[in-house]
Structure 1
Amino acid sequence: MKKRIRFMFLAFIFILSIGLAGCNNDSGGKKTGGESGADGGSSSGGTLVFGRGGDSTSLDPAITTEGESFKVTKNIYETLINFGEQDTEIQPGLAESWEESADGLKHTLKLREGVKFHDGTDFNAEAVVFNFERWKAGNAEQFYYYNSQFGDVIKEVKAVDEYTVEFTLNRILAPFYKNLAMSPFGIASPEAVKKHGDKYNENPVGTGPFKFVEWKRNDRITLVKNEDYWQDGLPKMDEVIFRVIPENSARMNALNTGEVDIIDGVNFSDVESIESNPELQTFYRPSLNVAYLGLNTERGPLKDKKVRQALNYAVNKQAIIDAFFAGAAEPAKNPMPKTVAGYNDDVEPYEYDPEKAKALLKEAGFEDGFEIELWAMPVARPYMPDGKKVAEAIQKDFEDVGVKAKIVSYEWATYLEKTRVGEADTFLLGWTGDNGDADNFLYVLLDQDNIDSNNYARYANQEVHDLFIKAQSTNDQAEREKLYKEAQLLIKEDAPWIPLVHSEPALAGRADITGFKPHPTGSDLLATVEFTK
């Protein structure tokens, strides 16, 4: 009863504070007035509403692979190592420093002292050990990212003292530190994990700038300022609300009417009107993505490499770019963008050639075509502004070479799960890189180890696998790039995907927003965002 009375009292104070904030605001109840920033032109406090296309699937970042979840969890949790503001160069995070042994098998991290989880418990080396042991001991199909980024490479994680943790590896893992900086490896409160058990994904507790308050499925997730955050002066906002607005046009309308402050999934055709509106501004996410049509290599005619190659020749990528990206993208020929070291520009792309597609289908015994399902993404993603329309364009391209494709879709979480377990013939998906390393695209998405995880095409090639493991197991960057380039040639020949585009996604927001810096990984830290006066 005492807890209930205390909660009601705090709720009353919170509601009262919002009401008072609204009295000081001339623009939709978002700004509180606050104190001026260092430049005298910023106002801290208030509520930031972020409009997005889909709901999160989990608020435990360790058990999901999709970006809508990481948008939120990036602001609740912190990782041992950080990326730069708008790049994937590693920087201190919850670990202030680190060193690697001469043989590359031991990594010793010195942790930041005085940091607490949102539940008031201490962040320390034992908490780090708890998280890694949880991920390692768990079901590989549940902790997808731990399995794909570390697998059986980590032999032991040990607390040397209260603020020193030591990792011992079974072999060299070249992207080890970059992996640690990825959103899935946000450090959770051990006590909260134990307390909530299977419901922890709905009750997240980290050390980040914002604390979880409420999750209304398919509507909104509300976070509030962590008053005890270890970085002085952050976060700037009192509250962040992530609103789900599935349609791009509806999200754009919500921005125009002041219902939301920032939106992603901006239609490329809307950019010109946004930039001509003095009340709005555009933001661009540095490109680190690929959109693709996956071809399930275990289903029907798609088992045949010639059929998969034929479908690659059938798709007019430039027409898709012109129609749905307003030209603001480039055709993809590899599973990763040019910005990633190890990209093989010597790979010859599958040009748009319907006649070549028909000839290959004839060679494969499908001169009269066949029927398949083409799964369309139900949400807008940075690399895919409109999954249904793109699917319709590809459906027409397939029809032109005699392949009849039935378009299918599901709610986002269901779509991902059914695709993961191999129920789709062909499926639209994409990937925004987590750490800027080729391993995070090639090994994670196309290695046989990751079937039933992130390898939705269920592609297996032992020669490709061996190249990936060799590339992981050396710190010689030139050798790594050579190995990845060899692998891309083999992947192109096997054609488990139709790589579609690499885009530079556009976001939009109110003109008076400062401090918002979209990250190439798609996980945006909102601690520095505020409204100008």
Structure 2
Amino acid sequence: MRKGRFLLTLFTLLLSFVLIACSNNETDGIAEQSGSKKQDVFVFARGGDAVSLDPSEVTDSESENVSQSILETLVAFTEGKTTVEPLLATEWNISDDGLTYTFTLREGVKFHDGTDFNAEAVVYNFDRWMNAKDQERFYMYGSVFGGFKGDENHVLQSVEAVDEYMVQFTFTNPKPTFLKDLALTPFSISSPAAIEKYGEEYGDHPVGTGPFTFEEWRRNDRVTLSKNENYWLDGYPKVNQVIFRTIPENSARLNALLSGEVDMIDGLDPRNIPQIEESEDFKILSRPPLNIGYLGLNVTREPLNNKLVRQALNHAVDKEAMIEAFFAGQGTPAKNPIPPTVDGYNDEIEAYPYNPEKAKTLLAEAGFEDGFEMELWAMPVPRPYMPDGQKVAEFLQSSFAEIGVKAEIVTYEWATYLEKTKKGEADSFLLGWTGTNGDADDFINTLWHGDNIGSMNSTYYSNEELNKILTEARTISDQEKRKELYKHAQEIMHEDAPIIPLAHSTPILAARADITGFDPHPTGRVITTKLSFE
């Protein structure tokens, strides 16, 4: 009898050990969600994986949101706004002619590999970008600075170390957006030693000065970061570990939040907002709208190379119905390629009204009275500007069918999707943009200037007059004149219709109620420096 009891007890103990081990494996280091122990691990779930952790070679927010915890820029956006404040630079001076910017750098800062952050490190990073042999790799640099060193329109003449902690930027023309440009994640400062060590593989081994150090990247699963014990900002970060989980399905992410598996999610289906709001354990975080979700129309592919066809497709979409069905009131119909919150927004433009009969008339005028066939690419991941790309694609497919246009829905894995659209392989495609600096240039120039075809301009649209306006607007300091130029740019795009502007959304995140210190910034950033649990 005693032997039986002993074996039963032993079995129970072994089973407990197994269950504990399994539980530890499943959470994989995620801190206990209940009890009195203060949580020191923050888990953020998103719909797609990063493409690279070297932010200078990407434009997707999934990559940038991880990088922002590892690397830092010279200046940063103020909480909740697109004005700038010091970060790795403590102060700056601008010459009277607007051509020279001199920055004083923060002293005593170390990269995660123990090397010094100083003026030479800043110069190294900018030299790497402006003198790049593989210019396509650093297309954000080329887009922001008018190309690369030696190019006719390249405006950054030099970057020089004045002394150990002072760096000077000299321009050939005034650059009114420069300070905001420096706050963009692609211009984060990496360790020169790490870049030399890892070479082409640096995107898998990022080394910066940020609050967290890179530990591990399991593709399509998670990126794990650990607290930088030597971070320059006293008292921060507040948590010991940050984990970015990839959970493609919106419903699965929500379930992970509700079960305590993760602490915050983006891509929440708007219809689930009431469920979160009614719970004492969770809360909704709303970002101010600074985005555009659109259907891009590749103007090089027949019959989308016909302006009348593109205008017809604009008339075929009932945006109000789309937003009501798939945004649950968390969006407004778009009529321009920039959101109303951006200076220079042209509210005098009249939106293409939903008018299927007008659409059919335009198609007939273009020689397609019987319609045509095309591909409609749907994003495989939810984005802040579009909670469910697949459902929006199906709605557009149905809308186009009403005017005789048969659209076949196509999709790919996220990185492949982005690469193929850049190469112009799509007829039409769902994409969008969350403003990175709050300036009209960031939207219109980045996405639709002819110089950016093959990189950010996936519509392959190039209008000579528009290109001239956009180039002028980024080389003058008169803000009122810049506004007028951008208003005219929107008129040109409205007439040419290289896109169907769909919606400006209010991006929603859902989180545990006890999370503090998180800024739901309009640029969509995920900044973890001051985040903690009450």
Residue matched to 1:125? 119
User: 2: distance between equivalents of 1:27 and 1:198?
Assistant: 39
Within 5 Å, give how 1:327-338 maps onto structure 2. Answer: 327-338=329-340
Supply the AA of the counterpart residue of 1:148. S
Supply the AA of the counterpart residue of 1:381. R
Residue matched to 1:481? 483
Deviation per CA, 1:473-492, whole angstroms, max 9, x where unpaired?
Answer: 11111111011001100010
Residue matched to 1:12? none
User: 1: distance between equivalents of 2:223 and 2:32?
Assistant: 25
Structure 1 gaps of 5+ residues are 1-14, 34-44
Q: Which residue among 458, 461, 464 is the counterpart of 2:460?
A: 458
In structure 2, the CA distance between the partners of 1:28 and 1:410, relative to structure 1 (3 Å rule), is farther
1:104 pairs with 2:98: yes
Q: Which residue among 142, 146, 150 is the counterpart of 1:147?
A: 142
Supply the AA of the counterpart residue of 1:319. A
Report SS of the residue matched to 1:156: strand
Within 5 Å, give how 1:399-478 maps onto structure 2. Answer: 399-478=401-480
Q: Aligned-pair distance for 1:28?
A: 4.8
User: 1: distance between equivalents of 2:532 and 2:28?
Assistant: 16
User: 1: distance between equivalents of 2:345 and 2:333?
Assistant: 14
Residue matched to 1:42? none
Report SS of the residue matched to 2:274: helix
In structure 2, the CA distance between the partners of 1:429 and 1:102, relative to structure 1 (3 Å rule), is same
User: 2: distance between equivalents of 1:22 and 1:74?
Assistant: 23
User: 1: distance between equivalents of 2:277 and 2:258?
Assistant: 13
In structure 2, the CA distance between the partners of 1:133 and 1:26, relative to structure 1 (3 Å rule), is closer
User: 1: distance between equivalents of 2:367 and 2:508?
Assistant: 44
In structure 2, the CA distance between the partners of 1:275 and 1:108, relative to structure 1 (3 Å rule), is same
Residue matched to 1:3? none
Residue matched to 1:52? 46
Residue matched to 2:525? 523
Q: Aligned-pair distance for 1:27?
A: 2.5
User: 1: distance between equivalents of 2:33 and 2:484?
Assistant: 55
User: 2: distance between equivalents of 1:453 and 1:26?
Assistant: 43
1:69 pairs with 2:63: yes
Within 5 Å, give how 1:250-265 maps onto structure 2. Answer: 250-265=252-267
Report SS of the residue matched to 2:239: coil
Q: Which residue among 81, 87, 95 is the counterpart of 2:81?
A: 87
Residue matched to 2:227? 225
Report SS of the residue matched to 1:297: coil
Residue matched to 1:11? none
User: 2: distance between equivalents of 1:103 and 1:521?
Assistant: 30
Residue matched to 1:177? 179
Equivalent residues of 1:63, 1:145 under 8 A apart? yes
Residue matched to 1:353? 355
Q: How many pairs are equivalent?
A: 503
Report SS of the residue matched to 1:143: helix
User: 2: distance between equivalents of 1:22 and 1:187?
Assistant: 31
Report SS of the residue matched to 1:142: helix
Report SS of the residue matched to 1:303: coil
Q: Aligned-pair distance for 1:100?
A: 1.2
User: 2: distance between equivalents of 1:526 and 1:489?
Assistant: 40
Deviation per CA, 1:142-182, whole angstroms, max 9, x where unpaired?
Answer: 11210111121111111111111111112111101100001
In structure 2, the CA distance between the partners of 1:158 and 1:52, relative to structure 1 (3 Å rule), is same
User: 2: distance between equivalents of 1:338 and 1:22?
Assistant: 44
Deviation per CA, 1:381-421, whole angstroms, max 9, x where unpaired?
Answer: 11111111100000011111011100000000000000001
Report SS of the residue matched to 1:404: strand
Deviation per CA, 1:7-54, whole angstroms, max 9, x where unpaired?
Answer: xxxxxxxx9xx99x999x86259x853xxxxxxxxxxx6101101100
Equivalent residues of 1:335, 1:441 under 8 A apart? yes
Residue matched to 1:514? 516
User: 2: distance between equivalents of 1:162 and 1:235?
Assistant: 27
User: 1: distance between equivalents of 2:141 and 2:412?
Assistant: 27
Report SS of the residue matched to 2:168: strand
1:343 pairs with 2:345: yes
Aligned-pair RMSD on alpha carbons? 1.8
Structure 2 gaps of 5+ residues are 1-20, 147-153
| Between 464-473 and 426-435, the greater mean CA deviation after superposition | 464-473
Report SS of the residue matched to 1:74: helix
Equivalent residues of 1:118, 1:211 under 8 A apart? yes
Q: Which residue among 484, 500, 503 is the counterpart of 1:501?
A: 503
Report SS of the residue matched to 1:475: coil
Equivalent residues of 1:330, 1:502 under 8 A apart? yes
Deviation per CA, 1:56-98, whole angstroms, max 9, x where unpaired?
Answer: 0000000001010011001111001110111110111111111
Supply the AA of the counterpart residue of 1:27. Q
Q: Aligned-pair distance for 1:140?
A: 2.6
1:210 pairs with 2:203: no
User: 2: distance between equivalents of 1:376 and 1:26?
Assistant: 37
1:27 pairs with 2:21: no
Supply the AA of the counterpart residue of 1:118. H
Query: Percent same amino acid among aligned pairs?
Result: 57
Report SS of the residue matched to 1:71: helix
Deviation per CA, 1:234-285, whole angstroms, max 9, x where unpaired?
Answer: 1001000000000111100000000000001111111111000111111011
User: 1: distance between equivalents of 2:348 and 2:67?
Assistant: 38
Residue matched to 2:292? 290
Residue matched to 2:151? none
Deviation per CA, 1:442-464, whole angstroms, max 9, x where unpaired?
Answer: 10111011111111111101111
Residue matched to 2:494? 492
Equivalent residues of 1:22, 1:32 under 8 A apart? no
User: 2: distance between equivalents of 1:294 and 1:245?
Assistant: 26
Report SS of the residue matched to 2:69: coil
User: 2: distance between equivalents of 1:264 and 1:498?
Assistant: 25
User: 2: distance between equivalents of 1:170 and 1:140?
Assistant: 21
Equivalent residues of 1:183, 1:523 under 8 A apart? no
User: 1: distance between equivalents of 2:215 and 2:289?
Assistant: 32
Residue matched to 1:271? 273
Q: Aligned-pair distance for 1:360?
A: 0.6
